[in-house]
Amino acid sequence: MKKQKLNPGKKQPKIKDLKSLPTININAAGIDIGSEQHWVAVPEDRDENPVRAFGCFTSDLHALAHWLKKCGINTVAMESTGVYWIPLFQILETQGFDVKLVNARHVKNVPGRKTDVKDCQWLQQLHTYGLLSGSFRPDDSICVLRSYWRHRENLIRYAAAHVQHMQKALTEMNLQLHKVISDITGVTGMRIIRAILDGERDFIKLAQMKDPRIKHSTDTIAKALEGDYRQEHLFALKQAVELYCFYQQQLEACNQQIQAYLMQMDSALNIDSQPIKRKKKPSKNQPCFDLATHLYRISGVDFTQIDGLNVLSVHTILSEVGLNPEAFGTEKRFTSWLGLCPENRITGEKIKSVRTRKVVNRAAKAFRIAANSLKNSQSALGGYYRRMRARLGPPKAVTATAHKLARIFFRLWKNGGIYQDIGADYYEQKYKNRVINNIKKRAKKLGFQISLNPGVS
């Protein structure tokens, strides 16, 4: 086989041996997280048995922390496996250790390490040379708020499942209630459903229970409520309504807990001297308390002034990213962490792919939902989304608009200030000017000089 020749005119990369790398973290340990036991590796000169296994009980976790202190360890790297890492992470952090939560994908690319012992030793070695970067985790106060908010999202999802069960039972009885009212869980819908469960079968009387804001007439609603009332479907409907109401009660209790915790958080400004300007209508799942004012008070910025972002999406984003923009440094790092910017894959000096990185990120999801809501907005961001959709298609337009929303969010988050909408025609005029300038440059390159005058259509 011929040996490949190197190009003498091209600068060759330097190849370093792992042993020649400088040791950044001398007092480093590596932990492989498991559901039943955790394997811990420390430097070989710190203990007779540098690799030990500890159980998952709380007493075992405290014994693990005590052993690390005895070995002179001050920084720890662990793999993020499910939710098993959370108790150990919190205990080590309260004990004063510098804990780095490492993405398992970043350390699993070397073959041959198929045991927990080798995994923890590999983590310890990489962390010693400073080759591991920890995953982002906000402050503990934000982690508490994030847990409450994620639990609230789960309650909404559980309640939505029982709304589907209600809809299924109504459809099986041929009660077309969803065709005459927009929301069966609204005032009119729940009033009619509860009357049906109480034994009312006169569809004229049921139709007369409609709210005055309902657009359909009483006769149309009465036709939709003339169905086949079967006992088994009524039983399923009753249980679905009870479960839906139960989760609504749990959701209200969760809202009260979130409100109480938000009131305990420190204020970034005096809300009385700088009141918030409200311009957006509250959504259906928005808590009953003034969530927008609380977010404005603790963050110091009214993010709801950005088109597409409502109070629920802003709370989701802040509960995931925290209140400190310096944790990300620049807006490019922020959008990269969100997975909203292109990830260039270069092989052989050729770009193979510029697709965005696949991430599971609730903040990125909130930005995408906000971007998708701008398709009919008469704002600058709405105009940008429509131009991107005509050029790239809906999926890429959503990503591009979410990327722009994230950059605007980060600038307000870091610098403060007020967001000013520049109008829906801004990007259209900017695009037109760019096309005109390209035409002039191309004509000049061919030896012509042209002047463009607006025509009359």
How far is residue 123 from each of residues 31, 104, 113, 137, 379, measured CA to CA in Å?
A: 7, 10, 11, 19, 49
Mean pLDDT of 246-267: 94
How far is residue 208 from each of residues 136, 214, 218, 237, 351, measured CA to CA in Å?
A: 56, 11, 6, 21, 66
Give the pLDDT score at 140.
Answer: 87
Give the pLDDT score at 311.
Answer: 92
Residues 149 and 320 sit within 8 Å (Cβ to Cβ)? no
Q: In a 10 Å sphere around its CB, with 0-12 CB exposed, 13-18 middle and 19+ buried, how is residue 250 labelled? A: middle
**pLDDT tens, position by position, 167-179:** 999 999 999 998 9
Residue 23: pLDDT band by 50, 70, 90 thresholds? Answer: confident
Average pLDDT, the chain: 86
Mean pLDDT of 152-157: 95
User: Under CATH, which architecture does the 22-128 domain have?
Assistant: 2-Layer Sandwich (3.30)
Q: Who's near 446: CB < 8 A, 6+ residues apart?
A: none
| CATH value of 142-264 in 1.10.287, 1.10.1740, 1.20.120, 3.30.70 | 1.10.287
Q: Where are the domains of the chain?
A: 22-128, 142-264, 291-415
142-264 matches 22-128 in CATH topology: no
Rounded-to-integer distance, Cα 356 and Cα 352, Å: 13
Beta bridge partners of 100: 77
pTM: 0.82
Q: Would the pLDDT of 188 be above 70?
A: yes
**pLDDT tens, position by position, 411-429:** 999 988 888 888 777 777 8
Cβ burial 419-428 (10 Å sphere, 16+ → b, else e):
beeeebeebe
Residues 258 and 230 sit within 8 Å (Cβ to Cβ)? no
Mean pLDDT of 304-327: 92
Token pair of 244 as six digits: 């839906």
Give the pLDDT score at 278.
Answer: 61
Distance of CA 36 to the CA centre of its chain: 30
**pLDDT tens, position by position, 346-402:** 777 777 777 888 888 899 999 999 999 998 888 889 988 998 998 899 999 999 999
